[in-house]
Structure 1
Amino acid sequence: MTCPDTSFPGPAPEQETLFAAAAADYDRYRPGVPAAAVELLADALRGRRLAPVLLDLGTGTGQVPRALLPAVPGLAHIEAADVSRQMLEQARDALTPVLGRCTLRLVHASADAYAPLPGDEAPAPDLVTCCRSFHWMDGPAVLAVADRVASPDAAVAIMGGGSLWTHEAAWTRALRELIQHYLGPKRRAGTGAAYSEPRRSYEEDLAASAWSDVAEHRIPVVRTWAPKNVIGYVRSTSFAGPELFGQRHAAFEAEARTLLDAHASGGSLTENAVFTILLARRPGGAQ
């Protein structure tokens, strides 16, 4: 079952539209959460209480709650927040059929504006997650929000596995160079600006926050991509979404498919990635 949706003021127009057109491709082509990472997150919830609660900030299409629902059968409630209404609608479609007795509230808000409903009697979250999203956020403000709303023994998980823009392989380098040929040398972040790296590392943000007890977990992941799925993935990104190419998008995709087919071995492309989880707690909290 689902709970009523909530919207907070705060998402800037450029934030809200960054992935709006990509929701369906994001859901279909973005890699999910690796099984070993799901088990680690499930362990963080086990033993907290009989009916644990998840808060997923920057939920996108709901990949984290979708992975945790079968791994944590007693999961009682999910709060899923994102700046994009289209992403939240995609998350609703994906999560509703698998919720069972778990309740869901979709929250249209930037992560630093998230708050429980006034008078809400739902338990505080036992796990706060940010998957492939923390780099878009005001890190210190988001960690302060987590400290205000989370249960005393809660954990925060900041995680991700890089992207095909940053992955170093012959085929990803060639693809990146093709994108730069069309869009210029700087990595784009939607139509409005170039991408800027966070000013501080995630570890520095955590060390300066209430969540300074941090354990890093690095999970090797080998992904096999079909060239057509790489094209779908690229379509879902902020650095090479269709809107960036205008009328040249069809030409780019045709050239990209030819390039990827040439690099494919046996019809597939290999990505050797590392999925990193920073699992953080307040000092002195339960482990």
Structure 2
Amino acid sequence: MSVFRGAVGFYRQYRPGIPPTVAEVLDATALTGTPRRLLDVGTGTGLVVEALLGRFDDIIAIDNDADMLAAAEAALRPQLPTGTHLLLAGVTAEAFTPPAGWQADLVTICRAFHWLDQATVLARLDAQVSPQGAVAIFGDSSFWTATSDWKAAVRSVIQDFLGEQRRAGERTFQHHNRPYSDIMRESPFDQVEECVVPVTRIWTADSILGYLHSTSFAAPQLFGDRLDEFDDTIRVTLTRFSDTDTFPEDNEFLIRIGRRGRA
């Protein structure tokens, strides 16, 4: 069962998208040419593909959550530029095989690498990426990583309702303690560079709750018949930090770009 069961509608509406500054870094990572091919792993509702529309003309986006893929289809297909091919595939990264002869110029894995069998996926990508292609693994910090007083208070409320340990749906989240760049350096994509792109956001109580319910650690079904109580507690808690319903956030995307070493 998906760890995002019940969260897809919130995910599409409230998950922050990929900023243009991040899209520009990703675009510059891949060689130009035609066709220009993108493989988006763990696409979810298609936020990465959406940010890169018009920059790649042959796109495969994969996810093993059917509801997520349906949301991606509904959002992306109407925006698809003329001449762009988009294939959405319901498959895990560990089992995915592209069409014969198809190789990506860029692979993107955003906010999803922690869910994968990382070494296995990177090894399989060796055959799925063009000789000069690259793999970009990137993401920003979730609310669980409290970087402000109001985020810490929100996390405390979640823990009061669901327990101290971070949830991943019905399970407990398993932390990966090794830096992703170190894992990449042990893969075929061992030439790794890192890029940090800062981002500033302004949240409201409504968007904070929408974001929380888009996550695996605060999805609606986890609260059972206490969901309304949780929402009310979050709203009351947030009033301690703003009387104008505005909550600033300074975040950043850490982008790790891996290429094959040259012999």
Question: Which of 167, 179, 184 is 2:146 aligned to?
Answer: 167
Question: Which of 78, 99, 102 is 2:59 aligned to?
Answer: 78
Alignment-mate amino acid for residue 148 of structure 1: A
**1:181-196 superposed matches below 5 A:** 181-191=160-170, 193-196=171-174
Query: Equivalents in 1 of 2:160, 2:5: separation in Å?
Result: 25
Alignment-mate amino acid for residue 67 of structure 1: A
Query: Equivalents in 2 of 1:81, 1:20: separation in Å?
Result: 17
Question: Which of 62, 68, 72 is 1:87 aligned to?
Answer: 68
Contact 1:20 1:85 in 2 (8 A): no
**1:95-244 superposed matches below 5 A:** 95-100=76-81, 101-117=83-99, 120-121=100-101, 123-191=102-170, 193-244=171-222
Partner residue in 2 for 1:59: 43
SS for the counterpart of 2:261 is: coil
Contact 1:227 1:264 in 2 (8 A): no
Alignment of 1:43 with 2:28, yes or no, is: yes
Query: Equivalents in 1 of 2:90, 2:261: separation in Å?
Result: 31
Alignment-mate amino acid for residue 242 of structure 1: P
Residue 260 of structure 1, CA deviation: 1.7
Query: Equivalents in 2 of 1:225, 1:56: separation in Å?
Result: 27
SS for the counterpart of 1:221 is: strand
Alignment-mate amino acid for residue 115 of structure 1: T
Query: Equivalents in 2 of 1:141, 1:55: separation in Å?
Result: 16
**1:165-188: per-residue Cα shift (whole Å, max 9, x none)?**
113211011111111111111111
Contact 1:167 1:273 in 2 (8 A): no
**1:224-257: per-residue Cα shift (whole Å, max 9, x none)?**
1011100000011111111111111111011111
TM-score calculated relative to the size of structure 2: 0.96
Contact 1:225 1:268 in 2 (8 A): yes
Contact 1:234 1:241 in 2 (8 A): yes
RMSD of the TM alignment (CA)?
A: 1.4
Contact 2:31 2:105 in 1 (8 A): no
Comparing 194-203 and 56-65, the one that deviates more: 194-203
Query: Equivalents in 2 of 1:44, 1:130: separation in Å?
Result: 14
Alignment-mate amino acid for residue 171 of structure 1: W
Structure 1 segments of 4+ aligned residues over 4 angstroms from their partners = none
Alignment-mate amino acid for residue 142 of structure 1: V
Contact 1:127 1:157 in 2 (8 A): yes
Alignment-mate amino acid for residue 104 of structure 1: L
Query: Equivalents in 2 of 1:260, 1:28: separation in Å?
Result: 21
Alignment of 1:31 with 2:12, yes or no, is: no
SS for the counterpart of 1:173 is: helix
Residue 201 of structure 1, CA deviation: 2.3
Residue 199 of structure 1, CA deviation: 4.9
In terms of fraction of residues, the more helix-rich structure is 1
SS for the counterpart of 1:215 is: strand
- Segments of 5+ residues of structure 2 without an aligned counterpart are none
- Segments of 5+ residues of structure 1 without an aligned counterpart are 1-13
**1:17-41: per-residue Cα shift (whole Å, max 9, x none)?**
2113211110110111122110011
SS for the counterpart of 1:126 is: strand
Overall identity of the aligned pairs, in % = 39
When residues 265 and 148 of structure 1 are mapped into structure 2, their CA distance, relative to the original with a 3 A threshold, is farther
TM-score calculated relative to the size of structure 1: 0.88
Alignment of 1:259 with 2:240, yes or no, is: no
Contact 2:146 2:155 in 1 (8 A): no
